[in-house]
């Protein structure tokens, strides 16, 4: 019997304006930069025997393409799923919802701020109904919580 020691892979996607972390509304999002968040995700994944591929785009179509690619990798057994902060697309993108549903890949939706304690237009998510789980309001530590949740779900389904 051989033991598979290949690290589990996961995709961390960040949507529009998250490239401005550390600069944009620090009272809401803090002073942590996107590079800091990506380093945190890579470190958290590595501590859990996984590898995080971190990507950011301000373009909806690019995010959709990455979700589709992740679906192919997931069905091939090469990916645990996606940790996804869709940013403002959370509240507007039926296309991302449909991409997640169509790709059939587990997604943990993450938001740095508590979107439900903010403006009313932020209270609705098109992503949540397609997501396997949601983490909101824990700052950038929410990414670690999302990675934990995604990996636990992935390992539970393969056990």
Catalytic residue numbers? 29, 111
Q: Which tokens belong to 103?
A: 């790709």
SS (H, E, C) the chain: CCCCCCCEEEEEEECCCHHHCCCCCHHHHCCCCHHHHHHHHHHHHHHCCEEEEEEECCCHHHHHHHHHHHHHHHHCCCCCCEEEECHHHHHCCHHHHHHHHHHCCCEEEEECCCHHHCCHHHCCCCCHHHCCEEEECCCCHHHHHHHHHHHHHHHHHHC
Residue 127: burial class (beta carbons within 10 Å; 0-12, 13-18, 19+): buried
């Amino acid at each position: 019997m051989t033991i598979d020691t290949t690290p589990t892979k996961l995709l961390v996607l960040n949507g529009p304006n998250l490239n401005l972390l550390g600069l944009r509304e620090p009272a809401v999002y803090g002073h942590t930069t996107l590079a800091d968040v990506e380093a945190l995700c890579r470190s958290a994944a590595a501590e859990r025997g996984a590898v995080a591929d971190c990507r950011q785009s301000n373009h909806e179509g690019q995010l959709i393409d990455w979700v589709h690619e992740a679906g192919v990798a997931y069905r091939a057994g090469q990916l645990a799923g996606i940790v996804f902060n869709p940013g403002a697309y959370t509240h507007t993108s039926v296309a991302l919802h449909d991409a997640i549903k169509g790709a059939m890949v587990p997604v943990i939706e993450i938001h740095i701020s508590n979107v439900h304690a903010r403006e009313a237009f932020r209270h609705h998510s098109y992503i949540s109904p397609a997501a396997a789980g949601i983490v909101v309001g824990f700052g950038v530590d929410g990414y670690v919580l999302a990675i934990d949740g995604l990996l636990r779900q992935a390992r539970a389904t393969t056990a």
